[in-house]
């Protein structure tokens, strides 16, 4: 197979619905806004289907909301962002460990807050580096985000494999930056857009992070 001849030195993972299940995050927002969790969940699905920013689901409930200011208020009230081992998808640890054993550098870099970066590091995952858009001050799909990814990867762009569930954020922009890509069929975005042209353009399409082991070390 053509792709097997490519040298992949670094595998970079997106975070939300790639490594971490987002259910707890949306539940916290629903409780904070005083609406049933199912209501917010349904709105998230609706904006995803429309190709909109998932934060628009919150803005539909409270139009004009300053998301960052509200997030700060939640944190001050003890309702801030939280996730732990129970929020990890079950294939995360074994896949990361197997990829490192195969000789790959393993990195996490996604559209998340600086607080999420702290929480990820507290999990002590078998990875080499972790960074978030909140720490970098630039987010996907901005090309500058992938400039930072390549620096963190410590490899040439064509030797870096970016893995994520959101085709518009994780496939197209990464390929434009010269990276290899794998679309993960997981979570709302991964399932809904699995057959979209953006997902089909990925170098690989996978259903589990463990599928990456045979890609990196066939």
Phi first, then psi, for residue 11 (nearest 5°) are: -110, 125
Q: Cβ distance 133 to 141 under 8 Å?
A: no
pLDDT single digits (tens) 119-174: 999 999 999 999 999 999 999 999 999 999 999 999 999 999 999 999 999 999 99
The pLDDT value given to residue 107: 98
Exposed / middle / buried, residue 41 (Cβ in 10 Å: 0-12, 13-18, 19+): middle
Own/partner contacts of 150-155, CB < 8 Å, gap of 24 or more, are 150/177, 150/178, 150/179, 152/12, 152/107, 152/109, 153/9, 153/10, 153/12, 153/105, 153/107, 154/9, 154/10, 154/105, 155/9, 155/10, 155/105
How confident is the prediction for the chain on average, in pLDDT? Answer: 93
Q: Cβ distance 102 to 214 under 8 Å?
A: no
The pLDDT value given to residue 131: 98
- Quick check: 1 pLDDT over 50? no
* Domains assigned to the chain: 2-20+84-216 (3.40.50.1000), 23-76 (no CATH)
**Maximum Cα–Cα distance across the chain:** 54
The pLDDT value given to residue 68: 85
Q: Cβ distance 108 to 90 under 8 Å?
A: no
Tell me the whole-structure pTM to 2 decimals.
Answer: 0.91
The pLDDT value given to residue 167: 93
For 87, the 3-state DSSP assignment is: helix
Token code pair at residue 98: 């197997």
């Amino acid at each position: 197979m053509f792709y097997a001849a490519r040298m992949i030195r670094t595998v970079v993972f997106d975070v939300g619905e790639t490594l971490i299940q987002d259910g707890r995050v949306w539940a916290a927002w629903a409780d904070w806004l005083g609406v049933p969790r199912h209501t917010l969940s349904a709105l998230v699905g609706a904006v995803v289907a429309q190709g909109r920013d998932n934060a628009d689901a919150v803005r539909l409930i409270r139009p004009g909301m300053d998301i960052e200011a509200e997030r700060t208020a939640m944190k001050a009230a003890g309702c801030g962002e939280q996730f732990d081992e129970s929020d990890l998808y079950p294939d995360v640890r074994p896949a990361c460990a197997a990829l490192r054993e195969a000789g790959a550098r393993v990195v996490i870099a996604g559209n998340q807050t600086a607080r999420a970066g702290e929480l990820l590091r507290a999990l002590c995952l078998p990875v080499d580096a972790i960074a978030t858009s909140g720490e970098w001050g630039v987010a996907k799909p901005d090309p500058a985000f992938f400039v930072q990814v390549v620096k963190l990867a410590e490899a040439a762009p064509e030797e870096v494999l970016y893995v994520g569930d959101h085709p518009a954020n994780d496939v197209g922009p990464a390929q434009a930056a010269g990276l290899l890509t794998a679309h993960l069929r997981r979570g709302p975005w991964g399932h809904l857009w699995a057959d979209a042209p953006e997902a089909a353009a990925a170098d690989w399409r996978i259903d589990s992070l463990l599928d990456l082991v045979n890609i990196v070390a066939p």
